[in-house]
Amino acid sequence: MIDRRMIPQLGEEISRLAYGGMRFPKNGDEVDVDEAVKLLRKAYEMGVNYFDTAVVYHKGESEKIFGKAFEIYDRSTYYLADKMSIWVCNSEQEMKDLFERQLKTLKTDYIDFYLVHSLNKDNYKKAKEFHCIEFLQEMKRQGKIKHLGFSFHDTYPVFKQILDEYDWEFAQIQLNYLDWQNQGAEQLYRELEKRNIPCMVMEPVRGGYLATLDEERAKPFLDLEPNRSIASWAIRWVSSLPQVAVVLSGMSDMAQLEDNVSLLTNFEPMNEQELAAVAQVVESIRKVNDIPCTGCRYCMDCPMGVDIPEIFAAYSRLKIFGREKSFVNDYEEIMKNGNGAEHCVRCMACASHCPQSIAIPDKLAMIHSLYQEKKAELEAAEQQ
């Protein structure tokens, strides 16, 4: 069984691992509901007791799957986390209706951990306009919410402002060994530590990126522990931080779930040697990848159909693995589906949603030119 720890600030005993319902397995375009339910129940049976969803995950299907998966269990034996995705609401009333709908979909009278979702400057402004936090505080008084927190994607000053303006019981931030210094995640973490607010972690493997490092990049890990998965280093690193209450992972199959559970069973924080290996890996990644896309897809959907995260992922693979032919093939596959960067009209609808502050249209133009360059080079090489 996975480790559980009492988080004194919350008075709750929580498993070190949380199941995030944003990357369930799919059958074509549709979520494989039976498989997703099976995964959630298996996690529950393995001792995971924190389950996190949102109305925007899998276009609303994730909450329904949660409702179905947990209807067979005693409600007091697991924690549900759900979120107010304020950007999908057009009015204060819609926001209130959404909350009530979430309770019904999840088949519950209360939500254990409720978050104002993905707060950045714009979402925070809208949340204030709709009196969202006051409404959720009222829901807490009525017993419909047990703990109120927020998830965050913006800069440190915005984070500090949010923490200063309301009383929060927990906060969820993107934290992994690559973003620790790269994206200023350490500053956010330290702020929570200073205020003694429990830290829920999302993106521990950076949208899968830290699970797929090539052998060259992962050499310090493989030298030390050849049989351990590359992803395990990311999960163990983040779990070693004392202010971290729970680590969320959006698991898509049984193997991932079993790997994560085994890592956080009889868990020991990383030792000096392991931390040194992580530092070496960070250094080698930092040298090659200059677009810090996490694949969160908050920039989507682009009105012109550009598949921004897929294009950045293809570029990132090129930078890390150096396989030019694969890059050209991957990019052509994206273009074939009408989702290439050449369709970008610089409307800027995407850029303000990017938690990583990536200059998306500029980077897309750069990648498209790079594709043309690499394609020409490959064709020239073939003719020789």
Residue 314 binds ligand SF4, judged by CB under 6 A:
no
Residue 146 binds ligand SF4, judged by CB under 6 A:
no
Choice from 117, 217, 317, 353 touching ligand SF4 (CB under 6 A): 353
| Chain residues 234-293 in contact with ligand SF4, contact rule CB under 6 A | 293
Residue 346 binds ligand SF4, judged by CB under 6 A:
yes
Residue 56 binds ligand SF4, judged by CB under 6 A:
no
Residue 260 or 294 having the CB closest to ligand SF4: 294
Judged by CB under 6 A, which stretch of 29-37, 45-53, 320-328, 353-361 contacts ligand SF4? 353-361
Q: At what angle do helices 230-239 and 272-288 cross, to 10 degrees?
A: 120
Judged by CB under 6 A, which stretch of 22-30, 154-162, 307-315, 325-333 contacts ligand SF4? 307-315
Angle at 264 between CA 260 and CA 265, to 5 degrees: 115
Choice from 10, 43, 361, 371 touching ligand SF4 (CB under 6 A): 361
Residue 312 binds ligand SF4, judged by CB under 6 A:
yes
Least distance (Å) between residue 313 CB and ligand SF4: 9
Tell me which H or E stretch contains 336.
helix 324-336
Residues 139 and 145: beta-carbon distance below 8 Å: yes
Q: At what angle do helices 33-45 and 61-70 cross, to 10 degrees?
A: 50
Choice from 309, 319, 332, 366 touching ligand SF4 (CB under 6 A): 309
Residue 356 binds ligand SF4, judged by CB under 6 A:
yes
Per the DSSP assignment, residues forming a β-bridge with 18 are 50, 248
Residue 233 burial (CB count, 10 A) = 26
Rounded Cα distance between 222 and 230, Å, is 8
| Chain residues 154-213 in contact with ligand SF4, contact rule CB under 6 A | none
Residue 85 or 232 having the CB closest to ligand SF4: 85
- Cite the beta strand spans of 56-214 per DSSP E: 79-84, 111-119, 145-152, 170-174, 199-202
Residue 91 burial (CB count, 10 A) = 10
Residue 367 binds ligand SF4, judged by CB under 6 A:
no
Least distance (Å) between residue 93 CB and ligand SF4: 29
Residue 183 or 260 having the CB closest to ligand SF4: 183
Residue 198 or 361 having the CB closest to ligand SF4: 361
Residue 198 or 292 having the CB closest to ligand SF4: 292
Rounded Cα distance between 309 and 375, Å, is 21
Least distance (Å) between residue 354 CB and ligand SF4: 3
Choice from 80, 294, 316, 331 touching ligand SF4 (CB under 6 A): 294
- Cite the beta strand spans of the chain per DSSP E: 4-7, 12-15, 17-20, 26-27, 30-31, 50-52, 79-84, 111-119, 145-152, 170-174, 199-202, 244-249
Tell me which H or E stretch contains 23.
none
| 210, 216, 222, 224: CA torsion to nearest 10 | -110
Nearest CA to 84 out of 52, 110, 115, 105 is that of: 115
Residue 306 binds ligand SF4, judged by CB under 6 A:
yes
| Contacts to ligand SF4 by CB under 6 A | 293-299, 302-304, 306, 308-309, 312, 344-350, 353-354, 356, 358, 360-361, 364
